Structure formats: structure tokens, C-alpha cells
Chains A and B, each alone.
Chain A
Amino acid sequence: MTPQEILIAEAGEYVAGLMSPMEAENFERMIATDANTRAAVAMWREKLMPLDETAPQVAPTPALWDRIERAIGDEPMVKPTGQGFFTRLAGLWADVGALRLGSMAGALAALVLAVVLVVRPDAPPLKPTVVAVLNNPTTQEPMAIVEAFADGRVRVVHLRDVAVPEGRTMQVWTLWDRQVGPRSVGLLERPVERQFQTSGFPQPTGNQLFEITLEPAGGSPTGRPTGPILCVGRATTPL
């Protein structure tokens, strides 16, 4: 088979749900980065959709909508805005397949988080005010955990290795107010656990956004995120 045929076949297998979770995850990376792959997936979705339309119409029980409303009850929304922090996020749309993975990844992240919070022997007595799991915006893989403390410390724990190219650095950002815009927490050369001391930031709050971007060595030249988002997530208050 030619490379194009392989792509067409793999995209079809992906859309038909024939890939293992691991294969699907790898394929979703290609969807995120390669326009040809994206086009092949879109083609299959569109061409095979008539099969979905042959499904019998089944009237939902009246309670189903109530269940949905309850389930989304107090969900924080991640809203794309016309400009600023989220526009790039919106561009890095994720594939629905990633959503399926996301649920598994979320469970894994919760587990890791529990372990990190409970097991770490050198943890200072202070409890973090907020904790955020940062996911890859495309694959929804949990990449890092951020804990922000009342005394201005921000601790970053990585869950996955990240290859930082020569001449680049990771930069940690936080956003608590769109008017203020994202503020730099600090730089990371490699994905190692690191604690930053911040000052001049307000007390961490739930829903505060954290993200890590790839920037030129020495950090973003503009003081705002300029590079691709490696991972992003919203903070929540631990119980």
C-alpha cells in the first residue's frame, strides 16, 4: 500500500472505532499535527455518517435531559474568547477521539494526584490552596500537576516527559483575570518537579487557569505566551 493508502485505511479504522486505546491515542497526535490526517478523518466521518442516520429513532425518557442538566450543573466553562489567551487554544481544537481518551486520562490524573498529595514525604505542612491538572490541549493527556499555595509558592509536578528542543524553554503561566492577562510563573528547562516563589499575585482561587507553553530560551520575549501550549488546566480547591 502507498503511504496515502495507509493513511486512508488507518483513518477509516480510527473512525470505525477499530483502534485500541493506545493506537487511537497515537493516531490522535497525528490528527492534531497533520492536515492530511485530519482531512482523511473528516472524509470518513462525512462519508460514513449516513450509517448513523439509519439508526432507529428512540425517544429518550423524560428524565434524561434532567440528568444531563444535573451532570453539567456547576461545571466551569472553558470559553473561547474573541482574542487573547484562548484563541490559540481554540485553534488547537481537539478531536473527539481525544475526549474518549480524556475520560481515562482524567481518571489516571486523579489517581496520580491522589498519590502525589498523599504520598509525597517531603511535602511541607501547608496544604495547597488550589490544585490543577494540566492536560495536553489536543490529546487531553494529563501532562503536569500544579499546586498553588497561599504563601505564593507554585509547585509544578510533571507526569509525562516533554522533549524541549535546543534553544527553547518551557514557561509556566497563570491567568486569574482576563483584564490582567496571563502572568509568568517561571521557566523550566526540563520537565522536573519545581517550586516557584511568586509575589504580587492575588491569592490562588478555584477556576484560575494554568498553562505551560514552549518559548524561546530565556522566556517569552513579549511577557505573554507566544509559543505552542504544551498543557493547560483550571485549578480547583482540594477538599
Chain B
Amino acid sequence: MTASDPDLKSALMKVAAGDRAALRVIYEALAPSMLGVALRVVKRRELAEDVVQEGFVKIWRNAHRYDPSLGPPKAWLFAIIRNQSLNLLRDGRREDLVDQVPEPEGEAVEAFLAAERLPDSGRLKHCLEGLEPQRRNSLLMAYVDGFSHGEIAGRLAVPLGTVKAWIRRSLLSLRECMG
């Protein structure tokens, strides 16, 4: 099920007024994607469900704060989920994750998959392809996998300062390319 921006906007307004059915509408429309987004960061199904649960509590509490000047409603909702995923990692559970889920060294599979799955017609795919591969990957590893500068530097075996510079340059190139 997909939901258009106007649908989500009106659902958020109703949620802000205390309407649980409207929260359920958002859940039906986006929970599977949100779980997928969370899973890419936290790597484990049960943790991803924790993220989505907390995310919906935040949506419930903060729907009245949604402001279109901060982007489309869907982007706002996904941002809540990505932030919540990072929170969960920062809360100290990352150690467990690393112990229990062996991750491939030196690469970030999710980041690559995400880039491949982008619609061919989209501007983002075109502009990402214009970036030098390691720079592109640094940015995707941050956004998609939730890695920090330090983690990316470790995985790509380059100095921290280099990763920071790569990502900044990538962002500026993307901005220019996407217009």
C-alpha cells in the first residue's frame, strides 16, 4: 500500500488531534518500509521492530510539530525512523550487534544495494553515479547503513579526515548535480 503526500499530511493532522485510526493509516502505509529502513541500520529483526515501535510513539507525540517547510511528510516520517535506529545503536547495543552479526569487512552491502535499487529514471541515481566510487560509498554507508565517519574510515581503511572531506565533497557535488 502506498500513501500520497496529501494522504500522509492529512493523517498527520488527525494524529495531532489524537486520532488513533489515522496513526494506524500511517502504520499500514509505511511500517513495512520503515522496518526495512531500520533493519539496514540495526541489522536484527527484533531491534528493527523496537525502532518502529518507538518511532510510532514519537510520531504520536510529535505529529503536531510536523511542518511542511521541513520537507515532505514521508521524508519526515522516515527521518524519525533513521534517527531512532541510530539512537538504538548509540544506546550501547552496537557491541551486541557486532558480536552476533558478522558483517562483511570493508564493504557495506546495504549501501550498494540501495544505490542499485534506485529508479533508473531518478535524478539521484544519475548524480550518485557521477561521483567517484569511494566517495559515493562513504555517503551511502552513512545514510543507508547508519555508519559514523569513524566506522566508514575503518571499513574503507582510509584516514578519518579523508572520509569527512569525501562526504562533504560528495554532498556538494550532489547538490550541484541535482539542482
Residues on A facing B (Cβ under 8 Å): 1, 5, 8-9, 12-13, 15-18, 21, 31, 35, 38-39, 41-61, 64-65, 67-69, 71-72, 75, 77-80, 86, 89-90, 93-97, 99-100, 103
Contacts and interface: CB of A to CB of B under 8 A. Distances in A.
Given A60-B31, A96-B76, A96-B80, A8 B175 contact: yes
Given A5-B172, A9-B172, A51-B124, A97 B83 contact: yes
17 contacts: A1-B172, A9-B168, A12-B168, A13-B167, A51-B115, A55-B37, A56-B36, A64-B31, A65-B31, A72-B56, A75-B60, A75-B61, A96-B62, A96-B70, A99-B61, A100-B84, A103-B87
B126 to A, nearest CB: 11
A59 B32 contact: yes
Nearest to B67: A93
Contacts of B124: 47-48, 50-51
B71 to A, nearest CB: 4
The 10 closest A-B CB pairs, nearest first, are: A55-B36, A12-B171, A45-B71, A54-B117, A45-B75, A58-B35, A93-B67, A42-B71, A57-B32, A100-B83
Tell which of A9, A54, A57, A71 has the most Cβ of chain B within 10 Å.
A54
Majority SS of interface residues in chain B? helix
Majority SS of interface residues in chain A? helix
Interface residues of B, number: 72
B40 interface: yes
Tell which of B123, B124, B175 has the most Cβ of chain A within 10 Å.
B175
Given A17-B146, A90-B64, A42 B56 contact: no
B49 A8 contact: no
A196 to B, nearest CB: 29
Interface of B: 16-18, 20, 23-24, 27, 31-33, 35-37, 39-40, 45, 48-49, 52-54, 56-58, 60-62, 64-67, 69-72, 74-76, 78-80, 82-84, 86-87, 90, 113-115, 117-119, 122-125, 139-140, 142-144, 146, 148-149, 167-168, 171-172, 174-175, 178
Contacts of B146: 17
Given A57-B32, A90-B65, A100-B84, 4 more contacts: A17-B143, A49-B72, A67-B49, A97-B83
Contacts of B172: 1, 5, 8-9
